Amino acid sequence: GENVEQHPSTLSVQEGDSAVIKCTYSDSASNYFPWYKQELGKRPQLIIDIRSNVGEKKDQRIAVTLNKTAKHFSLHITETQPEDSAVYFCAAPQGGSEKLVFGKGTKLTVNP
Amino acid sequence: SQTIHQWPATLVQPVGSPLSLECTVEGTSNPNLYWYRQAAGRGLQLLFYSIGIDQISSEVPQNLSASRPQDRQFILSSKKLLLSDSGFYLCAWSRQINTEAFFGQGTRLTVV
């Protein structure tokens, strides 16, 4: 089955710095890799996703990179702002199934 | 547009009591449905997922069960709650494999 490892578990940066969160997955058949943001007391929401036919995707200050050979993908946030403070989750489906497995989350704190 | 409803928002139950959490989705048909549990400071643990009525996969052996009596209704139940069942329970849906998952508001369950 799919196993998703996420690092670091906590990350503290100064406003304006970049933040990088990394995930590895085990199922080589996985082909969809979403990232979710969960603000305190709220539900997780998708912020960006990438499919296995591309290596990088950007949306303003957020980017995701994928290395299928190494089975890892990363979330990059540039010019961080205090409102970026939240818990971020990566996820990957067990290849060929609807089973969506999440990492354990990264608590990002952006200090003003 | 599609919406997901999950209730109740908070629940305090004594040990040994039964549990029933309900989730319904509107505006779509034959969604994939999920139940996740989020313990304090931890990640999203997949409990059950369903690709259709009476098609439910259980991911973690425990005293919880799930049912899908209607296409857009997903119910999480327990006959006798344990202290360890406390946590934040999230229902989610997706249209199909490898697409965005939309989460409900969550239920904060405290077993006392």
pLDDT, tens digit, for every residue of A64-102? 999 999 999 999 999 999 999 999 999 998 877 888 899
CA distances from B81 to A80, B8, B30, B37, B63 (A): 42, 16, 30, 14, 8
Q: Is the pLDDT of residue B60 over 90?
A: no
Query: Are A102 and B44 an interchain contact pair (Cβ–Cβ within 8 Å)?
Result: yes
B67 pLDDT exceeds 90? Answer: yes
CB neighbour class for A9 (10 Å; exposed up to 12, middle 13-18, buried from 19): middle
Look at residue A71 in the predicted model and tell me its pLDDT: 93
Give the pLDDT score at A79.
Answer: 98
Per-residue confidence band for B41, with pLDDT thresholds at 50, 70 and 90: low
Residue of A46, A100, A105 lying closest to B34 (CB–CB): A100
Name the residue with higher pLDDT: B41 or B87.
B87
Q: Looking at chain A, which residue has its C-alpha nearest residue B52?
A: A98
CB contacts, 8 Å: A106 with chain B: none
* Cβ <8 Å between B98 and A51: yes
Is the pLDDT confidence value at B91 over 70?
yes
Give yes or no for residue A39 having a pLDDT over 80.
yes
- Mention every residue, 6+ apart, whose C-beta is less than 8 A from residue A88: A21, A35, A36, A37, A38, A47, A75, A105, A106, A108
Closest CA to B30 of B65, B64, B74: B74
The pLDDT confidence band at residue B39, using thresholds 50, 70 and 90, is: confident
Q: Is a pLDDT exceeding 90 seen at residue B59?
A: no
CA distance A48 to A45: 9
Query: Mean pLDDT across chain A, nearest whole number?
Result: 94
pLDDT attached to residue B40 = 73
B58 vs B48: CA distance, rounded Å: 5
- pLDDT value of position B99: 87
Give the single-character DSSP code of B76. Answer: E
| Lowest-confidence segment of A12-16, A17-21, B84-88 by average pLDDT | B84-88
Does the pLDDT of residue B109 top 80, yes or no? yes
